[in-house]
């Protein structure tokens, strides 16, 4: 899986765990909601600054948002 897709999937998952809408996370991270939507869908490659802003808003380490979960890994 492409890293931008992994990041987007992890952001979406963490956001939903907090019970936040995209609009709430976008406000907390100081990014546009449409940009966040494109990140979550894997259509955008965020800069490291944006990765950090989103991680801080979600209360997680930036690296955690870049890790591919075993459930998302295709079976060999």
Q: CB burial class (10 A; 0-12, 13-18, 19+) of residue 60?
A: middle
- How far apart, in whole angstroms, are the C-alpha atoms of residue 2 and residue 19? 26
Q: What's residue 69's pLDDT?
A: 74
Domain ranges of the chain: 3-65
Query: Does pTM top 0.85 for this prediction?
Result: yes
Q: What's residue 18's pLDDT?
A: 95
Question: Could you report the per-residue pLDDT of 6-46, keeping only the tens digit for each?
Answer: 999 999 999 999 999 999 999 999 999 999 999 999 999 99
Judge whether 14 and 25 are in contact, CB under 8 Å: no
**If you search the block for the tokens 């600054």, which residue do you land on?**
49
Question: Could you report the per-residue pLDDT of 41-72, keeping only the tens digit for each?
Answer: 999 999 999 999 999 999 999 999 999 875 44
Q: CATH classification of 3-65 is 1.10.110.30, yes or no?
A: no
Q: What's residue 1's pLDDT?
A: 74
């Amino acid at each position: 899986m492409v890293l931008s897709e992994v990041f987007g999937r992890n952001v979406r998952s963490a956001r939903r765990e907090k019970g936040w809408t995209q609009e709430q996370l976008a406000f907390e991270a100081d990014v546009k909601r449409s940009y966040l939507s494109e990140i979550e869908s894997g259509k955008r490659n965020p800069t490291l600054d944006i990765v950090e802003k989103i991680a801080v808003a979600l209360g997680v380490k930036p690296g955690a948002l870049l890790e591919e979960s075993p459930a998302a890994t295709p079976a060999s």
